[in-house]
Structure 1
Amino acid sequence: MAEGREAEPSAGVMDSQSVNAADMVGRDTRGYDAGKKINGRKRFIVTNTLGLLVVVCVMSASRQDRDGAKATLLSTYLFSPIRQVFADQGFAGRLVDSAAETLNTTVEIVRKPADQVGFVVHPKRWVVERGLAWLTGDRRLARDYERDPAVSEALIRWAASNTMIRRLDRGRPAARQGCRMFSTPG
């Protein structure tokens, strides 16, 4: 609301990130992402257009982006009012039609310009990339150590909550900054 927008988001941005898994992660919940040469898990996230986490799904890294996005979009449909999602080219194909037909959700593929050379920030996608960078900045999330993917999802939500708290706390007087949730009276 401080940004002059509606309280509930109507658009989101989706992306995935492959991360290495520790040795303790079972073979049944890990896989090999041949494109990125990573043996581990893949995190699918949807953020609102401000970059705040809305949905997270953790799966085997061997899952294709289009297949993993189905569960992520279903969660988005069930738990948020988001009905338009921006995604990169890895999510193109039947997913776009399937989401429109079954979930009443528009998936818009943001393609890079044909003449692009090197790295260029895409206005509709940088917020999710920044969100993934914030998550990776959390030491516990640089690698997946959890046996259960649900625990990994909970840790991602925890790290995203910490980011949201820091962003909300900006602009307060210096004496009031910090989390007082666990402080003792007096």
Structure 2
Amino acid sequence: MRSHSEWFPEALLFLLYVPEHVDFNPPAVSCDCLAHVYGNAADHPDRVRRYPSDMTDAEWAAGRPLLPVPAWFQGRGGRPEGYCHRQLLDAIRYLVAGGISWRAMPADFPAWARVYAFFRRWREHGLIAEFHDRLRGTLREREGREAEPTAGIIDA
């Protein structure tokens, strides 16, 4: 009877077995938003960024730390979001850029009702203006100016 090494020469063993451990389903999070890291956003599939209104990785990296912290994250109640914050913001940007109605939201975004609920909650709590002010302040400081403007021009 032949031994194992006669049937499978050592040179062919690497074709049958991976020489080191390979993690086919790594636990890495696809997005670094709070809903993915601590919430339930991993239950919903990622989407391919395909629209001109989608945030670039650089825009997301600059805007993510400026997002308001959800109440559930601070222990003030509520439950973690089930949708990626980046996807929700991309959906709102798509809506604003295209001037479409909520119900005409493309199917690759979260459901229009979820996006609208997110937007409405932010609007009711003044978080849209706060986020805008934070972005403006960060941009002004990056340009070497004061975070708050001292004058404004209104053109009708």
For the aligned pair, the TM-score class normalised by the smaller chain equals under 0.3
Bigger RCO of structures 1 and 2 (CA < 8 A, at least 6 apart): 1
Normalising by the residue count of structure 2, what TM-score does the alignment of the two structures yield? 0.26
Q: Determine which structure has more spread, i.e. the larger CA radius of gyration.
A: 2
Between structures 1 and 2, the one with greater strand share:
1
Between structures 1 and 2, the one with greater helix share:
2
Normalising by the residue count of structure 1, what TM-score does the alignment of the two structures yield? 0.23
